[in-house]
């Protein structure tokens, strides 16, 4: 394994570990407790589904790493599955970011409309 691959594996493992333990420390709300200001019910539901999927994928990566550490997987199988799961996690993270940006934009438009309405009444 090259130095770059080793460093990448260490960084990704650290990130996965961080995202796996963060909910246990109370640093992030659980998906069902998430309240997004200005989101429609459909957007909230989509965020909850994406958050749940994110945690499922992160657990799968953790479990895969554990199985590999226990010598249950070949190097090739481990690498292929890990790459697949990380790509899947990145897609989910991007979808969450896009949906949150959409909600923030929507909320900003609502606040601008309210400000314009208040200004017109004065």
pLDDT of 102 reads: 93
Q: For the chain, percent helix, then strand, then coil, each to nearest 5?
A: 85, 0, 15
pLDDT of 2 reads: 76
pLDDT of 112 reads: 92
Q: Which helix (H) or strand (E) holds 79?
A: helix 75-121
Give how many domains the chain has, as a whole number.
Answer: 1
Give per-10-residue mean pLDDT for the chain (122 aa). Answer: 73 71 57 64 93 96 95 94 96 95 91 91 88
pLDDT of 33 reads: 39
pLDDT of 42 reads: 93
Cβ-contact 87, 63 below 8 angstroms: no
pLDDT of 43 reads: 92
Global pTM reads: 0.65
Domain range enclosing 75: 3-121
């Amino acid at each position: 394994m090259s130095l770059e691959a080793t460093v990448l594996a260490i960084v990704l493992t650290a990130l996965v570990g961080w995202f796996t333990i963060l909910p246990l420390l109370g640093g992030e709300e659980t998906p069902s407790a998430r309240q997004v200001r200005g989101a429609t019910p459909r957007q909230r539901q989509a965020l909850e589904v994406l958050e749940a999927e994110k945690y499922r994928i992160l657990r799968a990566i953790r479990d895969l790493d554990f199985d590999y550490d226990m010598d249950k997987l070949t190097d090739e199988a481990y690498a292929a599955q890990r790459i697949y799961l990380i790509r899947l996690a990145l897609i989910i993270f991007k979808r969450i970011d896009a949906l949150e940006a959409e909600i923030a934009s929507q909320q900003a438009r609502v606040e601008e409309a309210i400000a314009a309405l208040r200004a017109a009444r004065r």
